[in-house]
Amino acid sequence: MNAISKEIDRSPIAPGPDATRLKALNDWVAEVAVLTGPDRIQWCDGSDAENKSLIDGMLADGTLLKLNEQTHPNSFLHRSDPDDVARVEHLTFVCTAQEDDAGPNNHWLAPAEAHARMDALFKGCMAGRTMYVIPYCMGPIDSPLSRCGVEITDSPYVVANMRLMTRMGAPALARIEREGTFVKGLHSTGELDPERRFIMHFPEELTIKSFGSGYGGNALLGKKCHALRIASHQARGEGWLAEHMLILGVENPQGETHYIAAAFPSACGKTNLAMLIPPQGYRDAGWKVWTVGDDICWMRPGEDGRLYAINPEAGFFGVAPGTSSKSNPNALACLQRDAIFTNVGVTADNQPWWEGLDNGQQPATDWRGEPYDPAKRPAAHPNSRFTVSAKACPSYSPEAENPAGVPISAIVFGGRRASLVPLVFEARDWTHGVLVGASMGSETTAAAAGAVGVMRRDPMAMKPFCGYNFADYFAHWLSFDTPGANLPKVFHVNWFRKGDDGKFLWPGFGDNIRVIEWMIGRVTGSARAVETPIGALPGEDDLDLDGLELTGEARAKLFGYERDGWHAELQAIGDYLRDYGPRMPRGLLDEQERIVRSLG
């Protein structure tokens, strides 16, 4: 380890056995050490021995609690501060030289002011602490689509999670040294004071600064901060897409596998869809689903004009409540060992527990560590999480490590809409598909701080994550439609349509394979559809509904469209798009106006 003196005028740290040959990285680490004043510096190599040492330290100081070794070996519980349980979008900034480049979809601060504000918070904040230097790779270590970063943090909890979520340690450092470039991420939990909490992004500098939070998306800087906010900016300049999407492979009875990327807002079923298990009849017929990723997708055009995708993450940071043997048996199977749970309840014999878990157990202690009282609070926080390696998933696809990525046949957008939006429809072409994604609406969930159940526009499920002006982002999407491009078909789904009684009309979960089968049929040209002004819808006979009992109301609302309601929706979409001003691409406005005319 590198020890540094505690005088204020510390000199830069000389490269040592734990440092790096890359001068730019050494210099940055030294600069941060002078600013933050740690007692020691640890360069993380990602080894088992290092991880065990970190875990043992956190068990000793109470940062982690060991769970039942018989039922959940090598698994741990972390309880975060009660005021630090979700992303804080109102404290998340994109700091570009020009405010218009950040766009109205982001909170903006001038870079010089943002750096000054953050550096004042960071000054001396690691006194008495260890400063961890985490080199990591987003994506397969040898993939040309991958990008690397280094996170500096004072949280061993962050190190343990980054080890599960990224390719972290010596191999990543070797790639960083070869390439000479990396995203800089500086994080400190600070005092966990909500009044001293900010997450600042400097996309033009490939830099992230996060202070005052230990929560996943605010502290695991490889995740939303790098893989979406910074990477979306990189992707625009380099001709690819960084998206808030799951990736799954669907193998049909003929042995052909189609890969689908799907964008849903957080807590709207991405993980459930990524790990879908088809109903028994489909399994008997030979259908299989393979999990490539459950949250983030980086796509780049290949030589054949198709989009090829990688999952830049190596693990799952999933929402625990609602995960059950019915909703997601594959996720539940992942969590039987080698997992970190955050803000869940525990049973009397120290097993993790959350609302919706159907294992016959009952909680004894809630997520705050107090005796469980359902009148006081739920056992698990609504945004409680699990972190686990993707390779633990029974449906894990070995193609997740393919350096070339997987070819995408279809892109799916969707959200929570209790009314109006049918079960599934297909966009008529790429431009229409971009409009469908750009105008996505969804009811808010507990994944972000604020009110739950409020309908808001969430384009491509990227509202909290796009690192630049949405108008420019939509233009970037449109730019992929070039001569020779063989782009995926685009669909929209809504698993959450409700009937007049307030209950869901579609069973969802494994039965969503019925919708995916129709999509693949549309890709291959074997499935029929009914053309409507909003897109191509399946007729009731175009989906395999064998074994499902759907009421007349369900069939009408799931497979029909309401002309008057959609006319009002498209008018609202036009107003939304025009709010972005002159940067909004004319092609998207023309498409919106075309649909309005076709609706009469």
Count the neighbouring beta carbons within 10 Å of the beta carbon of residue 599. Answer: 19
Is beta strand 406-414 parallel, antiparallel or unpaired with respect to 257-263? parallel
Question: Which neighbouring-strand residues pair with 345?
Answer: 353
For tokens 């469908």, the residue is 436
Q: Are 527 and 521 in contact (CB under 8 A)?
A: yes
Is beta strand 345-347 parallel, antiparallel or unpaired with respect to 130-138? unpaired
44 catalytically annotated: no
Type of residue at 359: N
Instruction: Name the residue among 174, 155, 149, 258 with its Cα closest to residue 214.
Output: 155
Type of residue at 238: E
Q: Which of 44, 268, 334, 466 is catalytic?
A: 268
Rg (CA), the chain: 24
If DSSP codes are grouped into helix, strand and coil, which group holds residue 310? strand
Distance CA 313, CA 121 (A): 29
Count the neighbouring beta carbons within 10 Å of the beta carbon of residue 170. Answer: 13
Provide the token pair at 6.
């505690």
Distance CA 232, CA 227 (A): 8
Question: Which neighbouring-strand residues pair with 490?
Answer: 411
Beta strands in 27-154 (DSSP E): 40-43, 65-66, 76-78, 92-94, 107-108, 130-138, 147-153
Active site residues: 268
